[in-house]
Structure 1
Amino acid sequence: MDYTTQSRFSDPGDHAGLFDALPDDIPGIAAVTRGLIIHYRAGGIEFTGERLAEIDSRWVSAILATDQKRNGTPLAVPREPGDRVVGCCRDHTLLFVSALRHKGIPARSRVGFAEYFAEGFNHDHVVAEYWNGNRWVMIDTELDQADYPFDVEDMPAGPFKSAAEVWLGYRAGELDGDTYGADPNPDAPLKLHGGWFIRNYVHYQLAHLNGDELLLWDNWGAMSDRLDGADLDLTDRIARLMVASDNGDETATKEVNELYRMDPDLTFAGRSFHTSPAGAPPFTWVDIS
């Protein structure tokens, strides 16, 4: 895949010109995009109604449209927290990825789990990678460097692990699946952690790597909220291939991307079972054009 080309999700559309005024350096771009989004749970403000519904802005063009309607100023002009677009890590990352692609820099989103938000629990998370001419550099654009002991703009191995890495560790019995997810609460109506959750994130990882940077509550194909009856062998296969691809195996890269394009259990075909935190059960199927 050509990661300098906008996907349908990262395309800024009519608002592309806003990116022309951004800094040319990576930290500068990250600082600007970080100030445009406020996390719907971790931002320190409780959002409801139409404001909470902003988390379902799949498209960068829609995120920028919301920002401009509310603020109407260049992106580098600081926004008060309450004036930012409500979103999550996926939106922080996709805005940054979109800005880099606009400037001709290869960039992509990476889905997995971060160990640095809560002691003893690994939260679902999305970070960015960009190609610096020699290698893929991982950056968490949501983070302020002053708050973390590791380099957030060139992340070392360890603090963030891809969903594929975590799944293979889980399958090998090397880690506790209940310490990976969106919520460690064992008494919640739907346990948002554990093996089923990790497995679904392997499928998100593959979709994002292929330019389908979907919301983390879009569900399709072989995804399931249980492991019983799920095709675990298929998930094992794509996880192994993605890890091999990350280690430089070009044959694995081609094979896993071909699987995504050809296998209906993997391919996102435009229809999602949407389980948005802004909604309430019963959830429903939506068509995404």
Structure 2
Amino acid sequence: MPAPTLFDYADHSPYSNPGNHTGYFTELSTDPEELHRFVCTAVVHYRADGPTLTDEQKSDPDRRWLTSILDAAELRAPLDGPRTQAQQVAGCCRDHTLLTLGVLRTHDVPARSRIGFANYFVPSWNADHVVGERWDGKRWVRFDSELDQKDFDFDVHDMPTGPESPFVTAAEAWLAIRAGTVDPATYGVTTEVSYLHGKDFVRSYVLYEVAHRHRDELLLWDFWGPQLGTSSVQEAAGGQAAAWVRDAGLAGVDVSDAEFDAVADELAYLLVAADAGDGEAADQLAELYHGDSRLHPGNRVLTLSPTGHDGITDLTTR
């Protein structure tokens, strides 16, 4: 299967499709500042913004489908009106980006999400993060729709790219770790939990980056393939992951750490090459992703959510 085309990126994935809210999305502006205001009005970060979540909001971060996010938002307040924090949907950077993709794709603008690490939130820390890219007719323009321009000294709507940029892709971070040029302990969610930062964490994010590049915009706590056999997943699941994975018959659990390292190396090299305009690398990446049952999520994934929802998720149901 060849790499996604601009036509593919302009079309909705199952995750970004606004469904019965499409009519409303056609009325929204694709102006970056307008998109920022819209997505940050609809979604409040469940953790970074420090909100006190209502009982209704506590399950919001597991809303992986845009239709579900919008349904919840509309039930709490009109989509086109102001809303209190309690009326927002609790989510994260992935959800801010997904909302933006939903608007852009509704207007036939090619757009995609990118997984990586931002160094602009906490000094000397590379926070796991999701940003977006939109095609402007000549190139992919990277943006962070969660950010208010006045708070940052770079263009949040046209971010610089590459290993020295404020946001590095998971592939760039992984290759830097493998080269020994960065400290893996400075990448992740927090240093307070062993499995939420470090080399293995970044390696897992390479798989997320590949999935999102191919329009499978999964949650950052959905796991599949070689992720399933890692000690990090076992620790996060309190020892229950092996039984869940076995009962669900998920593939990839038998991949060793060394094999996962090698897989991540290949995927990361191809991702970086594809970003540099290598069409052959992009096609090879797509062939690997779709052709190896361990690398794409299939119909079921293991979910280990910060909401406490743990278990097998059937992606064929909504």
TM superposition score normalised by structure 1? 0.94
SS in 1 for 2:301: strand
- Asked whether 1:79 is paired with 2:106, we answer no
Equivalent pair of 2:97/2:130 in contact (CA under 8 Å): yes
Cα distance in 1 for residues equivalent to 2:96 and 2:76: 18
**Residue 180 of structure 2 aligns to which amino acid in structure 1?**
G
The residue correspondences of 1:161-200 to structure 2 (distance < 5 A) are 161-185=168-192, 188=193, 190-200=194-204
Alignment size in residue pairs = 282
Cα distance in 2 for residues equivalent to 1:277 and 1:48: 15
- Identical amino acids, percent of aligned pairs: 44
Gaps of 5+ in 1: none
Following superposition, the deviation at residue 184 of structure 1 comes to 2.0
Find the counterpart in structure 2 of residue 241 from structure 1: 270
Following superposition, the deviation at residue 35 of structure 1 comes to 1.6
Equivalent pair of 1:113/1:160 in contact (CA under 8 Å): yes
- Asked whether 1:232 is paired with 2:261, we answer yes
Cα distance in 2 for residues equivalent to 1:26 and 1:153: 6
Following superposition, the deviation at residue 78 of structure 1 comes to 2.5
Following superposition, the deviation at residue 193 of structure 1 comes to 0.2
Moved >6 Å (runs of 4+): none
Cα distance in 2 for residues equivalent to 1:287 and 1:248: 35
Find the counterpart in structure 2 of residue 274 from structure 1: 303
The residue correspondences of 1:117-136 to structure 2 (distance < 5 A) are 117-136=121-140
Equivalent pair of 1:111/1:204 in contact (CA under 8 Å): yes
SS in 1 for 2:127: strand
**Residue 47 of structure 2 aligns to which amino acid in structure 1?**
R
Cα distance in 1 for residues equivalent to 2:218 and 2:79: 28
Which of 8, 25, 32 does residue 31 from structure 2 map onto? 25
Find the counterpart in structure 2 of residue 68 from structure 1: 74
Cα distance in 2 for residues equivalent to 1:172 and 1:136: 27
Cα distance in 1 for residues equivalent to 2:201 and 2:28: 36
Equivalent pair of 1:182/1:192 in contact (CA under 8 Å): yes
Find the counterpart in structure 1 of residue 16 from structure 2: 10
Following superposition, the deviation at residue 230 of structure 1 comes to 4.6
Gaps of 5+ in 2: 233-255
**Residue 81 of structure 1 aligns to which amino acid in structure 2?**
Q
Cα distance in 2 for residues equivalent to 1:228 and 1:263: 17
Following superposition, the deviation at residue 82 of structure 1 comes to 2.4
**Residue 59 of structure 2 aligns to which amino acid in structure 1?**
A
**Residue 120 of structure 1 aligns to which amino acid in structure 2?**
S
SS in 1 for 2:48: coil
SS in 2 for 1:118: coil
Structure in which a larger fraction of residues adopt helix: 2
Equivalent pair of 1:137/1:155 in contact (CA under 8 Å): yes
Cα distance in 1 for residues equivalent to 2:119 and 2:175: 17
Cα distance in 2 for residues equivalent to 1:147 and 1:225: 38
SS in 2 for 1:86: strand
**Residue 292 of structure 2 aligns to which amino acid in structure 1?**
D
Q: CA RMSD in A?
A: 1.4
Equivalent pair of 1:116/1:159 in contact (CA under 8 Å): yes
SS in 1 for 2:141: strand
Cα distance in 2 for residues equivalent to 1:265 and 1:16: 34
Equivalent pair of 2:117/2:126 in contact (CA under 8 Å): yes
- Asked whether 1:262 is paired with 2:291, we answer yes
**Residue 104 of structure 2 aligns to which amino acid in structure 1?**
L
Following superposition, the deviation at residue 163 of structure 1 comes to 0.1
Find the counterpart in structure 1 of residue 158 from structure 2: 154
Find the counterpart in structure 2 of residue 51 from structure 1: 57
Find the counterpart in structure 2 of residue 206 from structure 1: 210
Moved more, 228-237 or 271-280: 228-237
Find the counterpart in structure 2 of residue 139 from structure 1: 143
Using a 3 Å threshold, how does the CA distance of structure 1 residues 249 and 191 change in structure 2: closer, same or farther? same
Cα distance in 2 for residues equivalent to 1:168 and 1:66: 39
Which of 282, 285, 288 does residue 312 from structure 2 map onto? 285
